[in-house]
């Protein structure tokens, strides 16, 4: 996914419920979202090589915003948010 597309999908979303619903929609389209202990935030699957590498991630700013809106700051808060909004959709 191009960074502009990702920014567009999450622009104007301010409530955790809205962000969680958008994540659900995108997961149904095949996109993956996961928590990264290294980044200490939610990441989109395409971002994984950047997290593990040395290059700056073009997805970082939008995924930081998504994590902030959801209240994710560490693994514990991620698990709480996942339980509340079923982000993993298991």
Extents of the domains making up the chain? 3-85
Q: Quick one: pLDDT at residue 35?
A: 97
- R_g of the chain, CA atoms, integer Å: 12
Q: What is the Cα–Cα distance from 76 to 72, expressed in whole angstroms?
A: 8
Burial of 63: CB neighbours in 10 Å, binned 0-12, 13-18, 19+ = buried
What is the mean pLDDT, run by run of 10 residues, along the chain of 90 residues? 88 97 96 95 94 89 97 98 92
Q: Quick one: pLDDT at residue 52?
A: 83
Would the pTM count as exceeding 0.85? yes
């Amino acid at each position: 996914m191009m960074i502009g597309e990702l920014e567009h999908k999450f622009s104007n979303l301010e409530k955790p419920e809205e962000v969680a619903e958008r994540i659900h929609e995108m997961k149904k389209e095949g996109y993956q979202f996961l928590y990264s202990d290294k980044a200490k935030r939610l990441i989109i699957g395409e971002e994984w090589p950047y997290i593990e590498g040395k290059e700056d991630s073009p997805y970082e700013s939008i995924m930081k915003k998504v994590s902030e809106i959801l209240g994710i700051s560490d693994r514990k808060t991620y698990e709480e948010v996942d339980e509340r909004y079923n982000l993993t959709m298991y």
